[in-house]
Amino acid sequence: MTEQKIYKHQSGFQLENGFFLEKLNVVYHTYGTLSAQKDNVVWVCHALTANSDVFDWWKGIFGENYLFNPKEHFIVCANILGSHYGTTGPLNYPSTENPLLQAFPAFTTRDLARIHDLLRLELNIDRIQLLIGASLGGQQALEWAIEQPEVVDKLVLIATNARHSAYGIAFNETQRQAIYTDPTYGNGTASGGASGLKTARAIAMLSYRSYDGFLKTQTSPNNHLTEDFPAASYLRYQGQKLADRFNAYSYVMLSKAMDAHNVGRKRASIEIALQFIKAKTLVIGIDSDLLFPVSEQAFLAEWIPNAILAIIDSDFGHDGFLVEHKQLSDLLSDFLKYDKNRPSNGI
């Protein structure tokens, strides 16, 4: 398989807000071998709380016996800035002895894309044959394809948007408020805010799933219950599960980066920014997604030149991209075979 690797960028990096990171570490995984022609790169941009081991969290799509496998593809997945899993962030800033925690500087999805482009250059990758991302990962992939249109050949955007919505921002803010009310948040320890993080995750699950999904999987067959309902215990379980593997400071920073996502910022407009993309693009929505409704993917497909829009039928809401492996794999397989010539944007 592969081992986790660390790229240590020693010359520093200036964030979009002007803050200068003196040093920068990026944790990443690669799978397979880069071909002599360098024409088999698949780069994955992960979602909010995922890590760089895509074979672990996106099974059914990535792996030895799946569509994206190391026998055919050179697969790269890098952990994002601010995350819990080793890349520079609130718990891990190489220029200081102590973690910065809530004092870590704010960053954006544009910063995430620019940092991973530094890793691309370090890995001597000239072109990315397929760039794929879902949710926050899709926001990052979108920024990357706009900033580096000559680098990306094919682009897959799943359950994502060009600008984070007021509804999505509101959901994120309720989660942050849950963390802020935890008296241990900001107490100087890496574990601060863990209780609040559990509640935040429970709130998030309501946006990740759907009414029909909860009805189908969390309805008790016992009509006589008056407490201890499956839906309640499920949310407690999900909250504890995240608190065991993630930290509240990263969660706050990453949710704020998602809120700030807007490809039109400092550009002429969102619509014009999307037209800079030259990659052959597949945009995938999920029909039951509350957080990133299909209308947002339809907007992307309308303004990205010659993009294709596809919809996954699922009861699992936003999390459908992690659940509906067969539908997603079929759509991606068909897209990989798609070789229609497209004119240059001419922008």
Q: Rg of the Cα trace of the chain?
A: 20
Which amino acid belongs to residue 130?
L
Query: Where are the chain's structural domains?
Result: 5-164+261-337, 168-258
Spatial contact of 153 and 335, defined as CB atoms under 8 Å apart: no
- The 10 Å Cβ neighbour count of residue 299 is 18
Q: Which of 53, 289, 315, 319 is catalytic?
A: 289
Burial class (CB in 10 A: 0-12, 13-18, 19+), 298: middle
**What is the sign, positive or negative, of the torsion defined by CA atoms of 330, 333, 335, 339?**
negative
The pLDDT of residue 339 is 58
Spatial contact of 309 and 297, defined as CB atoms under 8 Å apart: yes
The pLDDT of residue 346 is 29
Which amino acid belongs to residue 328?
L
User: Angle, nearest 10°, between helix axes 136-147 and 248-259?
Assistant: 50
pTM of the model: 0.95
CATH homologous superfamily of 5-164+261-337 equals Alpha/Beta hydrolase fold, catalytic domain (3.40.50.1820)
The pLDDT of residue 94 is 86
Q: CA distances (Å), 128 to each of 28, 150, 175, 231, in order?
A: 16, 9, 35, 42
Q: Which of 164, 210, 318, 319 is catalytic?
A: 318
Q: Which two tokens stand for residue 122?
A: 């370090």
In CATH, what is the architecture of 168-258?
Answer: Orthogonal Bundle (1.10)
Identical topology for domains 5-164+261-337 and 168-258: no
Active site residue 135: yes
Active site residue 318: yes
Q: Which of 135, 195, 250, 288 is catalytic?
A: 135
**Phi, psi (degrees; rounded to nearest 5) at 154:** -125, 140
Mean pLDDT by 10 residues, the chain (347 residues): 88 96 96 97 98 97 97 98 98 90 98 98 98 98 98 98 98 98 97 98 98 96 93 98 98 98 98 98 98 98 97 98 98 85 35
**What is the sign, positive or negative, of the torsion defined by CA atoms of 146, 312, 53, 333?**
negative
Active site residue 83: no
